[in-house]
A and B are shown apart, each in its own frame.
Chain A
């Protein structure tokens, strides 16, 4: 069955370190998205991509970057992790139409 996976599921890192969160989907969807979810803020869009080599900034993109070299993967990089980036991160993908399918999430703690 097609699916979307995220790794790692849990990560603890230190302030200032570079961290990369992986997202992989097997639906062959063109559109992929990264969100963070924090209490009181709901889901906030970080970056998104509508196809290979395409990336766009979302609502809260500062301190994050993405690159899209193939259809299946959209890794999210925190260039220099900050405590304010402690959060739960969700990846999602969508094909034709607007429905997004979410991964299980990565819980990131920055100490």
Chain B
């Protein structure tokens, strides 16, 4: 079992839809959780950062962490064509390198 599992998609949604992206993990020591967005032919850029369990909201984006289920989610409200990208989850136990999911490719159709 890989440490971090992420459905690669692709996921295609109409503009304005609510998007849900998810990752599961096996290492209970993980306590730092991140979501990165990567546009085609660009480097990943940090989108959301969460420490331990709970929710964090930033504009149209909400990150959720459920440590009891070892499950993290990213929700995108009112999705836009500009949200079309690959989304990577990443996590760490602290003072260790990040472990990345393989990424989910999202297309938002106008």
B44: A residues at CB distance < 8 A: 43, 90, 102
- Assuming the contacts A98-B98, A100-B98, asked whether A42 and B88 have C-beta atoms less than 8 A apart, the reply is yes
By beta carbon, the residue of chain A nearest B42 is A104
Q: Which interface class (under 10, 10 to 19, 20 to 34, 35 or more) fits A?
A: 10 to 19
Q: How far is the CA of A40 from the CA of B92 in the complex (A)?
A: 22
Is B94 a contact partner of A98 (Cβ separation < 8 A)?
yes
B77: A residues at CB distance < 8 A: none
Is B103 a contact partner of A42 (Cβ separation < 8 A)?
yes
- Assuming the contacts A48-B97, A58-B97, asked whether A98 and B92 have C-beta atoms less than 8 A apart, the reply is yes
Total residue contacts A-B, CB cutoff 8 A: 40
Quick check: is B10 within 8 A (CB to CB) of the other chain?
A: no
A45: B residues at CB distance < 8 A: 97
By beta carbon, the residue of chain A nearest B94 is A98
A90: B residues at CB distance < 8 A: 43-44
- In addition to A42-B102, A45-B97, A58-B97, 17 A-B residue pairs with Cβ atoms within 8 Å of each other are A42-B88, A42-B100, A43-B44, A97-B32, A98-B32, A98-B34, A98-B98, A99-B49, A100-B98, A101-B46, A102-B44, A103-B43, A104-B42, A104-B43, A105-B41, A105-B42, A105-B43
Interface residues, chain B, CB within 8 Å of chain A? Answer: 32, 34, 36, 41-46, 49, 88, 90, 92, 94, 97-98, 100-103
Interface residues, chain A, CB within 8 Å of chain B? Answer: 33, 40-43, 45, 48, 58, 90, 97-105
